[in-house]
């Protein structure tokens, strides 16, 4: 059963990365000690499962839709994500996602993610945006939230997509 979220933040060490790797289906094959410590789960509870185990209900679906569309095409992407620990607390992270391919066949063999802490200011802006996306998803579904996100980005800059936006997040805010 999923933990009930509580309104308490886990303060992350700015010097440490929370790292994990998956197979091509997204099942966790590796997590570093800091991942285990912050998530509150044992390594055994994490390995073999989807990262959905740490998915926070405040996260809009559209972010994961864009994440998977990007990495499954062998492109790397960054994303700001709110995660849920086993005890119900949350932690915001800036995450760098990468896909790993077989050097001979070019076939994707897995994905990796390295997460670090992010400034309060970015969290404030992004949490507002994600709350709006979630509200739209609940009312009208994920296509509508994707449309809202596109016009939000267009208003910032004609040529920006979600990928560049997340890459440049420190510059924007």
Ligand X SMILES: Cc1cc2nc3c(=O)[nH]c(=O)nc-3n(C[C@H](O)[C@H](O)[C@H](O)COP(=O)(O)O)c2cc1C
Which residues, 6 or more positions from 8, have their beta carbon under 8 angstroms from its beta carbon? 88, 89, 90
How many CB atoms lie under 10 A from the CB of residue 119? 14
The answer to whether residue 66 forms part of the interface with ligand X (CB under 6 A) is no
The answer to whether residue 81 forms part of the interface with ligand X (CB under 6 A) is yes
How many Å apart are CA 28 and CA 39, to the nearest integer? 13
Nearest distance, CB of residue 32 and ligand X, angstroms: 13
> What is the rounded end-to-end Cα distance, in angstroms, of the chain?
37
Among 113, 126, 166, 169, binds ligand X (CB under 6 A): 113
The answer to whether residue 118 forms part of the interface with ligand X (CB under 6 A) is no
Nearest distance, CB of residue 158 and ligand X, angstroms: 29
Among 22, 78, 117, 145, binds ligand X (CB under 6 A): 22
Q: Helix or strand or coil: residue 93?
A: strand
Nearest distance, CB of residue 108 and ligand X, angstroms: 10
């Amino acid at each position: 059963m999923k933990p009930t979220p509580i309104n308490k933040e886990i303060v992350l060490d700015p010097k440490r990365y929370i790292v994990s790797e998956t197979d091509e289906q997204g099942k966790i094959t590796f997590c570093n000690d800091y991942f285990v410590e912050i998530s509150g789960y044992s390594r055994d509870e994490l390995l073999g499962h989807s990262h959905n185990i740490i998915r926070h209900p405040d996260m809009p679906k559209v972010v994961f839709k864009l994440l998977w569309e990007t990495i499954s095409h062998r492109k790397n992407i960054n994303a700001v994500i709110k995660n849920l620990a086993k005890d119900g607390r949350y932690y915001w992270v800036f995450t760098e996602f990468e896909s790993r391919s077989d050097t001979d066949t070019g076939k994707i063999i897995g994905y990796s993610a390295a997460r670090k802490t992010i400034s309060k200011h970015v969290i404030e802006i992004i949490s507002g945006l994600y709350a709006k996306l979630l509200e739209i998803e609940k009312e009208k579904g994920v296509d509508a939230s994707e449309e809202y996100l596109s016009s939000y980005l267009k208003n910032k800059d004609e040529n920006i997509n979600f990928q560049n936006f997340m890459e440049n997040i420190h510059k924007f805010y």
